[in-house]
């Protein structure tokens, strides 16, 4: 089964930002919605959501930022870069709410995976819009390089992740039954420190961080654990 961005995925991925109350700075990112026990939850990267306060989270619709009041369901412990939010109302359009299974069971090392998000600086008014004014996320592909081992280690993917994709859902195709499933939350790329030389080849002693195309994603089970501990999401329907 080819891995394509199906309706159940596209209508669950959102371009968001959180405003730091201390500085007024906007922290952009990507988030996605999952359902559990007839309640809806929004999952993103912790480094995006950790600044959330009473001002809520802003979601892009029809080229404008729409504010949603939100409660923090939970933040990942230690270096687990995941946060789960409960918005004051459902964010997924009811007529476009299709099952979006979760979990890494059945994922195969080396298989193709897909992640969807909004790179920082992208003008969301330029691209296509889905119904309800939701901008279409950019779709990127990678290979699953490793699975997570224990609670303190992420999965790794062979693919380029850019700022703004933090919080993107990492999706794969389960072979049996045939379905697109979200297995993780993309949060960061692994920078590579490269030396800087002058035009004549002289080593400056300085370095620049480059993106070598290796990124990490945290297992979706961390988000599910946070939800089970604090099931406060809005009721669906």
Residues 58-84: tens digit of each pLDDT:
999 888 899 999 999 999 999 999 999
Residue 160's pLDDT is what?
82
100-134 core/surface letters (b: 16 or more CB in 10 A; e: else): bbbebeebeeeeebbbbbbbeebebeeeeeeeeeb
Mean pLDDT score, 206-221: 79
Residue 212's pLDDT is what?
63
pLDDT tens digit string along 26-57?
A: 889 999 999 999 999 999 999 999 988 877 89
pLDDT tens digit string along 144-160?
A: 998 877 777 889 999 88
Q: Are residues 219 and 104 in contact, defined by beta-carbon separation less than 8 angstroms?
A: yes
Residue 145's pLDDT is what?
92
Give the pTM.
0.89
Q: Are residues 82 and 39 in contact, defined by beta-carbon separation less than 8 angstroms?
A: no
Residue 191's pLDDT is what?
56
């Amino acid at each position: 089964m080819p891995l394509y961005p199906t309706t159940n995925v596209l209508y669950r991925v959102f371009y968001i930002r959180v405003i730091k109350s201390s500085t007024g700075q906007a922290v952009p990112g990507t988030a996605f919605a999952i359902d559990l026990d007839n309640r809806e939850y929004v999952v993103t990267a912790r480094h995006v959501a950790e600044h959330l306060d009473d001002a809520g989270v802003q979601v892009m619709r029809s080229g404008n930022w729409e504010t949603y009041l939100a409660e923090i369901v939970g933040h990942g412990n230690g270096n687990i870069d995941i946060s789960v939010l409960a918005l004051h109302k459902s964010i997924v359009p009811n007529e476009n709410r299709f099952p979006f299974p979760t979990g890494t069971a059945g994922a195969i090392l080396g298989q193709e995976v897909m992640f969807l998000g909004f790179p920082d600086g992208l003008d969301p008014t330029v691209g296509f819009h889905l119904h309800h004014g939701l901008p279409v996320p950019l779709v990127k592909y990678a290979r699953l390089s490793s699975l997570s081992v224990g609670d303190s280690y992420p999965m790794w993917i062979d693919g380029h992740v850019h700022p703004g994709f933090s919080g993107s859902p990492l999706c794969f195709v389960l072979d049996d039954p045939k379905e697109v499933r979200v297995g993780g939350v993309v949060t960061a790329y692994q920078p590579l420190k490269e030396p800087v030389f002058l035009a004549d080849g002289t080593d400056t002693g300085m370095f620049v961080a480059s993106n070598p195309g290796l990124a990490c994603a945290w297992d979706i089970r961390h988000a599910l654990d946070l939800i089970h501990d604090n099931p406060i999401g809005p009721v669906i329907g």
